[in-house]
Amino acid sequence: MEYNKNKAHYLAITGILVKDNKYLITKRADWEKAFPGKWTVPGGKLEVLDYVLREKDTNSHWYNIFENALKRECKEEIGLEIKNIYYVTSISFINKGIPTIIVSMSAEPKNNNEVRLCPALTEYKWVTLEEAKQYDLIEGIHEELEMLDKKLKGNKMRSWGSNQQS
């Protein structure tokens, strides 16, 4: 296969953690290059090592790549193991000239362990959807929380930015 720069992307995964009808948000350190000092949800870039050292699930493929990457990121960033991982939405942007795709997922903590932040994060809060409005969230995060909140309340989850249900 020939390399095609128009088809190459970084892939990242984020997780909206839900516990007791609240969402976990974390504050990025002021020295972070992207979105310093902003509140967000755990996540990070997909790495080849997230799957290549594992046994393949078929003769040619690895499955659950995003889920396993999110498990790694949550363990690294907030010290929590997670379960019940589901798709929320996807996002793309150009990060310093590199096309980047972010897959937003939701999950629950496996147990009631205390959050342990990595050095790149300075604070965390478990917040309701309404309380989240009080924080300086990265653009789009509150809308993702709204989408997930609708789904958790038994409504159809809409597309991001859409007033219509899908």
Q: Which comes out higher in pLDDT, residue 87 or 33?
A: 87
Instruction: For residue 116, give the nearest of 63, 155, 74 by alpha carbon.
Output: 74
> Is residue 81 one of the residues assigned to a domain?
yes
> Is residue 144 one of the residues assigned to a domain?
no
The enclosing domain of 56 has a CATH number of 3.90.79.10
> C-alpha angle with apex 106: 65 to 23, nearest 5 degrees?
145
Range of the domain at 27: 10-128
pLDDT at 166 over 60: no
Structure tokens at 22: 């609240």
pLDDT band at 160 (very low <50, low <70, confident <90, very high): low
The structure's pTM equals: 0.90
Mean pLDDT within 67-92: 96
DSSP 50: G
Strand partners, 17: 107
When divided into structural domains, the chain yields a total of 1
101-113 pLDDT, tens digit per residue, is 999 999 999 988 8
**123 phi and psi angles, rounded to 5 deg:** -150, 160
pLDDT band at 165 (very low <50, low <70, confident <90, very high): very low
Number of DSSP helices (H) and strands (E) in the chain, helices first:
3, 7
> Is residue 133 one of the residues assigned to a domain?
no
> Is residue 88 one of the residues assigned to a domain?
yes
> Is residue 165 one of the residues assigned to a domain?
no
User: Within 10 Å of residue 99's Cβ, how many Cβ atoms?
Assistant: 14
Instruction: For residue 138, give the nearest of 28, 46, 10 by alpha carbon.
Output: 28
117-146 pLDDT, tens digit per residue, is 999 999 999 999 999 999 999 999 999 999
Alpha-carbon distance of 135 to 126, in angstroms, equals 12
User: Within 10 Å of residue 44's Cβ, how many Cβ atoms?
Assistant: 19
> Is residue 150 one of the residues assigned to a domain?
no
> Is residue 149 one of the residues assigned to a domain?
no
Question: What Rg do the C-alpha atoms of the chain give, in angstroms?
Answer: 16
